[in-house]
């Protein structure tokens, strides 16, 4: 037992634990799209498919925690729009998986994330006139929900598109995190069957995921406490900052491979 885990270098475990703590903090509401940085960080020392296989069970555990912690906090009107969109996006990702180069998807989503994050940070820092909060709309919600489901499926980058749709609504931070927690719990669960069908799930790596699970509650607890300790403006600035970093990382992943 754990024979595969014993062959991994110590640097993997150090980076993997740090990545999971960061992802846990993000899932708990501190850092927003830092969830997208988990697999790229692990991929510094191991192959990206292995990193993705290890992260998927951990993401599902984090999603389960989020469903419990933020139960009743999600925004129903938004979810009724973006979840059907996400299902469309996942289906498109499944159908086109063999024909699309994920590198260019990463670049396009990364550019969109960087532009949106800079615009948001300038507004929050007073460099631009505040924009009136938007309301949930079916057309925009379906589009961004579908794009999030699609990019989550093909390149594990569903965070930037859905934050592009939700952040301009300026909803309370707990409701925002509760909404994204439920959204990605559904998205990640729905990805299981098509991933299995495409041969992307490697259950032999589950032992590594199990050994990394103790880091999950640590990251989640830190993120949850920090999320409640900061005000809404700081929360939005940090979320926009992490979105900016995620965007640059996506661009780098796309052009460097």
pLDDT tens, residue by residue, 13-65? 998 999 899 889 888 887 666 676 777 778 778 877 778 778 888 989 999 99
Can you give the pLDDT at residue 17? Answer: 93
Query: Which alpha helices (DSSP H) does 125-172 contain, by range?
Result: 138-155, 159-166
Q: For residue 238, which of 167, 171, 179, 182 has the smallest C-alpha distance?
A: 167
- Between the CA of residue 83 and those of 73, 134, 168, 201, what are the distances in Å? 16, 19, 18, 23
DSSP state letter for 47: -
Entry pTM: 0.83
- Helix 76-96 and helix 138-155: axis angle, to 10°? 40
DSSP output for 161-185 = HHHHHHGGG---HHHHHHHHHHHHH
pLDDT tens, residue by residue, 162-183? 988 998 898 898 999 999 999 9
Domain membership of residue 182 as a residue range: 3-256
Q: How far apart are CA 185 and CA 155, in angstroms?
A: 17
pLDDT tens, residue by residue, 57-102? 898 999 999 999 999 999 999 999 999 999 999 999 999 888 877 7
Q: For residue 223, which of 246, 239, 240 has the smallest C-alpha distance?
A: 239
State the sign of the Cα–Cα–Cα–Cα dihedral 175, 115, 145, 206.
negative
Mean pLDDT, the chain, whole residue set:
85
What is the number of structural domains in the chain? Answer: 1
């Amino acid at each position: 037992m754990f024979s595969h885990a014993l062959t991994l270098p110590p640097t993997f475990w150090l980076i993997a634990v740090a990545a999971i703590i960061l992802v846990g903090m993000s899932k708990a509401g501190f850092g927003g799209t830092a969830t997208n940085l988990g697999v790229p960080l692990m991929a510094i020392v191991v192959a990206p498919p292995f990193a993705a296989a290890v992260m998927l069970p951990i993401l599902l555990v984090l999603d389960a925690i989020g469903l419990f912690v933020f139960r009743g906090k999600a925004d129903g009107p938004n979810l009724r729009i973006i979840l059907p969109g996400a299902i469309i996006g996942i289906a498109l990702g499944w159908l086109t998986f063999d024909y699309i180069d994920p590198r260019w998807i990463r670049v396009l989503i990364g550019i969109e994330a960087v532009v949106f994050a800079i615009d948001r940070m300038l507004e929050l820092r007073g460099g631009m006139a505040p924009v009136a909060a938007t309301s949930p709309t079916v057309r925009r919600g379906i589009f961004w929900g579908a794009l999030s489901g699609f990019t989550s499926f093909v390149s594990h980058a569903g965070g930037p598109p859905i934050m592009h749709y939700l952040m301009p609504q300026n909803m309370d931070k707990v409701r925002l995190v509760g909404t994204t927690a439920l959204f990605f719990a559904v998205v990640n669960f729905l990805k299981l069957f098509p991933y299995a069908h495409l041969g992307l799930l490697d259950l032999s790596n589950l032992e590594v995921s199990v050994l990394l699970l103790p880091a999950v509650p640590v990251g989640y607890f830190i993120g949850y406490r920090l999320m409640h300790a900061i005000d809404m403006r700081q929360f939005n600035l940090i979320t926009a900052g992490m979105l900016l970093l995620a965007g640059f990382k996506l661009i780098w992943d796309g052009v460097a491979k």
